[in-house]
Structure 1
Amino acid sequence: MLEKMLNDFEHENVPKINNYLESNLTKDINQNTLANSMYYSLMAGGKRLRPLLTLATMKTLNQNVNDDNLRAVCAIELLHTYSLIHDDLPAMDNDDLRRGMPTNHVKFGAGMATLAGDGLLSLAFQWVADNNLSIDIKSQLILMLSKASGPSGMVAGQASDIEFENKTLSLASLQRLHRGKTGALINYAVSAGAIMSNADKNLQTLLSTYADDYGLAFQIYDDILDVIATSKQLGKPVHQDNKKNTYPNLIGLKNSYLELEKVLDHSHKTLNQIKENYGIDTDLLAAFLTYFKIS
């Protein structure tokens, strides 16, 4: 039932996200090659997980979504795409395949790919600010997105990933790394939905806990897939993490599955607490947890 709920929600909302991105991206770009490079990676596909989480949070909290909300929601996909372009660069992971297509630097060159990422990053903040949401909501979103994407969040996680590539981390240190690298932007996605729905501080905290669990589960699952999946299944190179700190490398594949189960169990308990405390139907957010296949 939950899987069908997630599929129905994706079927309804992914086209809305894609249509908004496609219709609005190039309005704010003044250089044709740069526009093509930004468009190439942004519209190359993908699950649109982060904006979907924002929309799911807003639906869970019975908040209607208008064009101003949608503009702020889609901004996170701009920022996420920037991170993927930069992550694939020769100076970083040097990957040549992303979502089953040549990476941006393979098609447009490393310099243009870097600028495409820069452009998407800047445009993300423009979209959060350039709408008719209240000044209070916009300022909260901009501050939170700055922290999530910057040197105390995602960028810090990526830096640690590079710095500790040939060093073995403890499990606690690995979790901290991933809270920045992957978890910070996922936390923002859920928290942004709570802010745009005017949730109280206690509810925001509970939803943030759910989001932290989701981000951690996402990274554990991604590490597992790098071991068990094929490039064709994932649309990107696999078995690339042999020298990196990953859950299978640190605690083994079997224990990685157990760790994933533990995180998902805690996430379900948090959603149940929200349901009990606020009388809110959290099934849609629970449905997002079916993304992680552990059988």
Structure 2
Amino acid sequence: MPSLPKSLQTAMADTVEQVEAAIDVLLPRTDLAEAKLYDAMRYGCLGGGKRLRPFLVMESARMFGVNPACALRTAAAVEFIHCYSLIHDDLPAMDNADLRRGRRTVHLEFDEATAILAGDGLLTAAFEILSDPETHEDPSVRCKLVAALARAAGPRGMVGGQMLDLIAETTTFDIGAITRLQRMKTGDMIAFSATAGAILGRASPAHLHSLQAYAHDLGLAFQIADDLLDVEGTEEETGKPVQRDEQAGKATFVSILGVERARDQAGRLAEQASRHLEIFGDRADMLKEVARFVVERRT
């Protein structure tokens, strides 16, 4: 993995620490009969990870002077959604994975039924957090957050993208179809994360549009880098099985473009993403660093 600029490295590490602490509070242990469910939810959320999506929430919120406590609750809600998706993706009916973030997947550590319920619990808890007045005093802002996250995570976003991913196992997709699949499956949640701070901060339409354009290119760059890691990375680096797309016969950016063209395209998208942030001046320097990081990472 490339060495991160110290400022970005420190900022991302701080976000990991803050988000983990917030999750620990928002998802406490219990001695109730359903304790196993909470244990599985905590296992799925507190098992490491880059916390990239929460970092995007926190950074975009910082740009608009949002109360850090409100931003952190939103960041935790985003991570709940992301972790729920990973738990369900790993299930035998989906990817049937046995490793996630270097640990046994939730359905292996607990059982399949508990893993399904843990994902369901995280999904619904995310919206409970966003709808709480502690997240923002303005109910219209909370409604916008809930609506935007539901759109990004639902059938027109992440869930729909996962359906397309399953279809791709038996259907040949061209580059346009793959781009749409990845925009829905991965890009829409990244886009929500990058714009959540603007929603919390009641940003202008122009500022919101710039962040949306940034996130669109960032999401595609991220996925191309993920496809490259699946081909070139190791299980030790990624913390999950590799070369699964090739084994499943799925078309990817790499299988269509080739390794070098895919790497070049990821770099171009990262540069383009950064250009969308010029309107913010040096306030967006950290987000520009993120764009470079996502295409150079090894995890």
TM-score (norm 2): 0.92
Provide the residue aligned with 2:28 in structure 1: 26
| Separation in structure 2 between the aligned mates of residue 189 and residue 29 of structure 1, nearest angstrom | 33
Cα distance in 2 for residues equivalent to 1:71 and 1:27: 18
Q: What is the identity, as a one-letter code, of the residue corresponding to 1:257? A: R
Partner of 1:167: 171
The Cα of 1:287 is off from its aligned counterpart by 1.3
Does the alignment pair 1:250 with 2:256? yes
Alignment-derived partner of residue 193 in structure 1: 197
Aligned length: 290
1:14 Cα offset (Å): 1.6
Q: In the alignment, what sits opposite 1:55?
A: 58
Which SS does the other structure have where 1:223 is aligned?
helix
Match of 1:264 in 2: 270
Which runs of structure 2 are paired with 1:1-295 in the superposition (5 Å)?
3-26=5-28, 31-66=34-69, 68-132=70-134, 133=136, 134-242=138-246, 243-272=249-278, 274-275=279-280, 279=281, 281-291=283-293, 292-293=295-296
What's the CA shift string for 1:53-76, capped at 9, x where partnerless?
Answer: 01011122333312x332222101
2:49 partner letter: G
Does structure 2 retain, via aligned residues, the 8 Å contact 1:96–1:103? yes
Tell me the distance in 2 between the aligned counterparts of 1:29 and 1:76.
26
TM superposition shift of 1:26: 2.5
Distance, in Å, in 1 between the alignment partners of 2:66 and 2:76 is: 16
Residue 262 of structure 1 and its aligned partner are, at CA, apart by 1.8
- 2:46 is matched by which residue type in structure 1? M
Please give the alpha-carbon distance, in whole angstroms, between the structure 1 residues aligned to 2:66 and 2:133.
17
Distance 1:149 1:164 in 2: 20
Name the CA distance, whole Å, in 2 between partners of 1:51 and 1:29.
29
Which amino acid is the alignment partner of residue 43 of structure 1?
L
Stretches of structure 2 lacking an aligned partner (at least 5 in a row): none
Identity across matched positions, percent = 37
1:265-291 Cα shifts (integer Å, max 9, x gaps): 21122122x23xxx5521011111232
SS at match of 1:93: coil
Alpha-carbon RMSD across the aligned residues, in angstroms, is: 1.9
Question: Which amino acid counterpart does residue 79 of structure 2 have in structure 1?
Answer: E
Q: Distance in 2 between matches of 1:206 and 1:165?
A: 35
| Runs (5+) with no aligned partner, structure 1 | none
Structure 2 counterpart of 1:93, which letter? D
- Evaluate the alpha carbon distance shift between residue 287 and residue 2 of structure 1 in structure 2; reply closer, same or farther with a 3 A threshold: farther
- Secondary structure, aligned partner of 1:250: helix
Answer with 79-88 or 55-64: which moved more: 55-64
How does the TM-score come out when normalised to structure 1?
0.93
- The amino acid across from 1:249 in the alignment is S
Q: Does the 8 Å CA contact 1:60/1:285 hold for their aligned counterparts?
A: no
Q: 1:96-144 CA distances to partner (integer Å, 9 max, x unpaired)?
A: 0001111011111111101100000010110111233110110000000
Amino acid at match of 2:235: S
Q: Match of 2:206, SS?
A: helix
**CA distance 1:175–1:46, shift in 2 (3 Å):** same
Amino acid at match of 2:217: D
Quickly say closer, same or farther: Cα 1:294–1:41, change in 2 above 3 A.
closer
Point out 4+ residue stretches in structure 1 off by more than 3 angstroms: 27-30
Helix, strand or coil for the counterpart of 1:26?
coil
